[in-house]
């Protein structure tokens, strides 16, 4: 019978699989490698979306959806769309003000 919850790498070493709470799965990479992986990034981005316009991080897709309809977000996106100014310029202007 296969030993439960254990795995062996290509060198035959046994190691404990790690569990990622974000992805809800067990992985056998180093934690830092897993955190850098495309899949982990995508899941993090889905579960904790970031509004690139407002540079805000949300803790659920629903909070993000709500933010998209918020006055604050609409104002920021209006400024950017209407004046067609790049975001970096807006940030520079914000910090210089
Ligand atoms: Zn993960
Ligand atoms: Zn926003």
Taking only the tens place, the pLDDT of each residue in 20-69 is 998 999 998 889 999 999 999 999 988 889 898 899 999 898 999 999 99
CA of 47 to the centre of ligand 1 (A): 11
Output the CA 18–ligand 2 centroid distance in Å.
Answer: 34
For the question of whether the overall pTM of this predicted structure is more than 0.85, the answer is no
Per-residue pLDDT band at 15 (split at 50, 70, 90): low
Considering every ligand atom, which ligand is closest to the CA of 77? Answer: 2
38 lies in the same domain as 53: no
Q: Verify that 38 and 66 share a domain, yes or no.
A: no
Ligand minimally distant from the alpha carbon of residue 58:
2
Residue 83 has a pLDDT of 72
**Residues 53 and 43 reside in one and the same domain:** no
How far is CA 51 from each of CA 4, 38, 76, rounded to the nearest angstrom? 41, 19, 11
Q: For residue 6, what are the domain limits?
A: 1-47
DSSP class of 64? H
Q: Which ligand is nearest to the CA of 76?
A: 2
- 52/80 Cα distance (integer angstroms): 12
pLDDT at 3 over 60: no
> What interhelical angle do 71-83 and 61-68 show, nearest 10?
60
Neighbours of ion ligand 2 (CB under 5 A): 51, 53-54, 73
Whether 36 and 75 map to the same domain: the answer is no
Rounded-to-integer distance, Cα 65 and Cα 43, Å: 16
């Amino acid at each position: 019978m296969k030993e439960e919850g254990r795995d062996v790498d290509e060198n035959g070493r046994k190691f404990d699989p790690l569990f990622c709470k974000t992805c809800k799965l067990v992985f056998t990479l180093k934690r830092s490698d897993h955190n850098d992986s495309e899949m982990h990034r995508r899941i993090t981005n889905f579960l904790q979306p970031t509004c690139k316009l407002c540079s805000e991080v949300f803790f659920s897709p629903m909070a993000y959806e709500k933010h998209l309809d918020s006055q604050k977000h609409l104002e920021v996106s209006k400024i950017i769309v209407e004046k067609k100014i790049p975001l970096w310029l807006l940030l520079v202007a914000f910090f210089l003000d």
